[in-house]
Amino acid sequence: MEPPENSNKDGKGYELAEKIILRWDSTASEEARERMIFESDRQEADLYLQAVDEIQRSLSNASISTSSNNNADDRSKVNTTIQIAMARLEEEFRNILITHTSAFETDSLFDPASSSSSTPSHHEHEEDDSLSNDNSINNILLQLHHCGSSDSTSYRSTSSIREVDLMPAEAICDLQAIAMRMVSSGYFRECIQVYGSVRKSTVDSSFRKLGIEKLSIGDIQRLEWEALESKIRRWIRAARVCVRILFASEKKLCEQIFKCVGTDIDDACFMETVKGPAIQLFNFAEAISISKRSPEKLFKMLDLHDALMELLPDIEAVFDSKSSDSIRVQATEILSRLAEAVRGILSEFENAVLREPSRVPVPGGTIHPLTRYVMNYISLISDYKQTLIELIMSKPSTGSRYSGDPSTPDMEFAELEGKTPLALHLIWIIVVLQFNLDGKSKHYTDASLVHLFMMNNVHYIVQKVKGSPELREMIGDDYLRKLTGKFRQAATNYQRAAWVSVLYCLRDEGLHVSGAFSSGVSKSALRERFKTFNAMFEEVHRTQATWLVPDAQLREELRISISETLIPAYRSFLGRFRSHIESGKHPENYIKYSVEDLETAVLDFFEGYPVSRHLRRRSQ
């Protein structure tokens, strides 16, 4: 309410005003203690505000009436009256704030999805299922929508910010009138404190509903990472609500109440209300950003970084005054520390892959757990390509063929010209993974199993790259062809190591003799050759049936390749020399297997489980 234009100059106006002020002095009147002026007849509130205006004018005029002979005493009397009036207005101000902080409605049909234009970050879609029964954040959105009067639900939307009217217009008008009089009487600090204490309790209540806990940075850093992961998911969702709706709406309410008083006080009241909660909110992200680095934290760090980067324009819009500099600075510094943490974790991950120390060979030469972990990890990295391309600005620290360091693999950047630093890091991770795997392969005692192990693992790397369009794009087809060549070479080396000695039994050399009484073939040498072949093939069959090629297509291709080499050689050898054995005694002891028996036996290879010590033989 505006003060009246006419001033009563004969002192009667003051005396009437003083009477009204004293009548509502809650320290002197039981009735005044039990009733609130602004909850009474509207006329009572108007009269009281007019009385306060009159007292304020009297104080500024330095004298009350011409009959007064003691201006100092009069000023003291007016000061006392002003103090009584301000104490009362402070009570009224608090009561209006509390009365119109309504109980939130949670059973509305308001759609919370409209509260934010953002979409969940990369992995929130799959992780949100764990929160599907938790409606706290949705309820907050419903509550914010309904906390004003039924006829006051307007929004002011700027980009993704959605400001809700937190109080009805009539209450705001009364708060404006009281605030103007308190500030003009020098009760600026009291007004701010009352406003801040009431509204901050409302914000705190919203924080509790959003699941934002009061944890210090130390408390957060002492939590197990598994517990923190769910808290990070919740924090990201809650932070969007806090910045875009909760804080923005509190700022709007401050502007509505204090717009006639001056920007300094509305900024002061806003910060009195939300500074503590805002610091509490951002302390969580800060604690994560400075926590101990480890590979499993990378993706949640990236989720936090992306969420905060997305919110930064809204933070700058909501906290745009000089008094809120510290909030903007804190958010920017957290973003910078998260970026640095991401770079550090990636570098540490590369070193961890290079130095991974396990020495126990995996059974059957199958895919090493390290290979699965690393390739799944970099596939996830590629999901964050857009963010990481901006964050990763330098090439990896690698060895070179000229470094002479046997503990570090070579990687020449000249061969990878034009690739982003992120792509170079991903290729470097694959290089160091292969280097480590090569070291692990040396722990196998069977040379052919060494090659099978490398074939399995490099093939898995190739398949993971092919299975991720983003990863394949960054790695590039040239490097993919290089990897493909490596696993095919490993397959060739396996066949050479495993089968050359077996096939050597099927050669003609050493079987022919010359002499007048000889058929040209040494039956004893031939029998020994068949026995050697049988024993070697049985050993290969027994051993390699327990080896494992997990990829069904690769397993079939390898069996076909073995058959295409072994079966024709055995068929030809059998065709040339069968008659020499069958014409002697006990031919079944030497020609133990038909061509079909070998074809069947090859199907047992690489299944990963033992077979009968004796091959299955066709009935003769």
Tens digit of each residue's pLDDT (9 = 90 or more) over 373-387: 999 999 999 999 999
3-state class of 410 per DSSP? strand
The torsion angle over the Cα atoms of residues 540, 545, 547 and 549, rounded to 10 degrees, is: 120
Q: How far apart are CA 116 and CA 37, in angstroms?
A: 40
- Which pLDDT score is estimated for 64? 45
The CATH number fitting domain 506-604, selected from 1.20.1280.170, 1.10.3480.10, 1.10.10.60, 1.10.287.3510: 1.20.1280.170
- Stretch 537-564: mean pLDDT, rounded? 96
pLDDT of 106 strictly over 50: no
C-alpha count within 13 angstroms, C-beta hemisphere, residue 54:
24
474-525 confidence digits (pLDDT tens): 999 999 999 999 999 999 999 999 999 999 999 988 787 765 455 588 888 9
Q: What is the mean pLDDT of the chain?
A: 85
Candidate from 71-80, 120-129, 270-279, 419-428 with smallest mean pLDDT: 120-129
Q: How far apart are CA 348 and CA 353, in angstroms?
A: 9
Instruction: Indicate the pLDDT class of residue 560, thresholds 50, 70 and 90.
Output: very high
DSSP conformation class of 156 = E
First-to-last C-alpha distance (Å) of the chain: 114
Helix axes 552-582, 523-544, angle to 10 degrees: 160
The answer to whether 55 touches 81, Cβ cutoff 8 Å, is: yes
- Stretch 594-612: mean pLDDT, rounded? 93
C-alpha count within 13 angstroms, C-beta hemisphere, residue 398:
23
DSSP conformation class of 107 = S
3-state class of 607 per DSSP? strand
The torsion angle over the Cα atoms of residues 4, 5, 7 and 13, rounded to 10 degrees, is: -20
Q: Which of 126, 147, 105 is nearest to 250 (CA)?
A: 147
pLDDT of 100 strictly over 50: yes
pLDDT of 544 strictly over 80: yes
3-state class of 393 per DSSP? coil
- Report how far apart, in Å, the C-alpha atoms of 483 and of each of 403, 452, 454, 478 are: 23, 15, 11, 9
pLDDT of 231 strictly over 90: yes
**Tokens 């050479």 found at:** 496
- Stretch 355-367: mean pLDDT, rounded? 93
The answer to whether 194 touches 93, Cβ cutoff 8 Å, is: yes
Q: Which of 20-34, 109-123, 466-480 has the highest mean pLDDT?
A: 466-480
- Which pLDDT score is estimated for 119? 39
Query: What is the full DSSP assignment across 310-360?
Result: HHHHHHHHHT-SGGGHHHHHHHHHHHHHHHHHHHHHHHHHHHHHHH----S
CA 563 to chain centroid, in Å, comes to 50
**Tokens 């069968």 found at:** 578
The answer to whether 292 touches 349, Cβ cutoff 8 Å, is: no
128-165 confidence digits (pLDDT tens): 443 334 454 445 444 444 444 333 333 344 468 888 98
Q: How far apart are CA 1 and CA 424, in angstroms?
A: 68
Q: How far apart are CA 328 and CA 3, in angstroms?
A: 39
- Report how far apart, in Å, the C-alpha atoms of 69 and of each of 35, 77, 261, 443 are: 37, 14, 36, 110
pLDDT of 116 strictly over 50: no
- Which pLDDT score is estimated for 41? 82
- Which pLDDT score is estimated for 111? 34
Which of 410 and 345 is assigned the larger pLDDT?
345
pLDDT of 307 strictly over 90: yes
Number of other CB atoms surrounding residue 476 within 10 Å: 16
Tokens representing residue 251 in the block? 């700022």
**Tokens 């005044």 found at:** 32
The answer to whether 502 touches 533, Cβ cutoff 8 Å, is: yes
Tokens representing residue 578 in the block? 């069968």
- Stretch 187-212: mean pLDDT, rounded? 92
48-99 confidence digits (pLDDT tens): 999 999 998 887 775 444 445 556 667 788 889 999 999 999 999 999 999 9
CA 83 to chain centroid, in Å, comes to 55
Q: How far apart are CA 287 and CA 216, in angstroms?
A: 8
Instruction: Indicate the pLDDT class of residue 468, thresholds 50, 70 and 90.
Output: very high
pLDDT of 615 strictly over 70: no
- Report how far apart, in Å, the C-alpha atoms of 463 and of each of 25, 379, 480, 492, 519 are: 83, 11, 10, 19, 56
Instruction: Indicate the pLDDT class of residue 26, thresholds 50, 70 and 90.
Output: confident
Q: How far apart are CA 445 and CA 426, in angstroms?
A: 32
- Stretch 572-578: mean pLDDT, rounded? 92
Instruction: Indicate the pLDDT class of residue 102, thresholds 50, 70 and 90.
Output: low
Q: In the 3-class helix/strand/coil scheme, how is 113-153 assigned residue by residue?
A: HHHCCCCCCCCHHHHHHHHCCCCHHHHHHHHHHHCCCCCCC
3-state class of 158 per DSSP? strand
- % the chain with pLDDT above 90: 64
- Which pLDDT score is estimated for 585? 84
Ranges for all domains in the chain classified under CATH 1.20.1280.170: 506-604
The answer to whether 312 touches 270, Cβ cutoff 8 Å, is: no
Q: How far apart are CA 391 and CA 572, in angstroms?
A: 63
Q: How far apart are CA 542 and CA 336, in angstroms?
A: 59
- Which pLDDT score is estimated for 403? 55
pLDDT of 557 strictly over 70: yes
Q: Is the pTM of this model over 0.85?
A: no
Candidate from 114-123, 154-163, 302-311, 408-417 with smallest mean pLDDT: 114-123
- Which pLDDT score is estimated for 105? 38
The answer to whether 487 touches 455, Cβ cutoff 8 Å, is: yes
pLDDT of 353 strictly over 80: yes
Number of other CB atoms surrounding residue 120 within 10 Å: 16
Tokens representing residue 501 in the block? 């000695």
Q: How far apart are CA 151 and CA 140, in angstroms?
A: 20
Q: How far apart are CA 237 and CA 285, in angstroms?
A: 13
Which of 563 and 134 is assigned the larger pLDDT?
563
The answer to whether 317 touches 357, Cβ cutoff 8 Å, is: no
Sequence-separated (6 or more) residues with CB below 8 Å from residue 128 = 120, 233
- Which pLDDT score is estimated for 159? 60
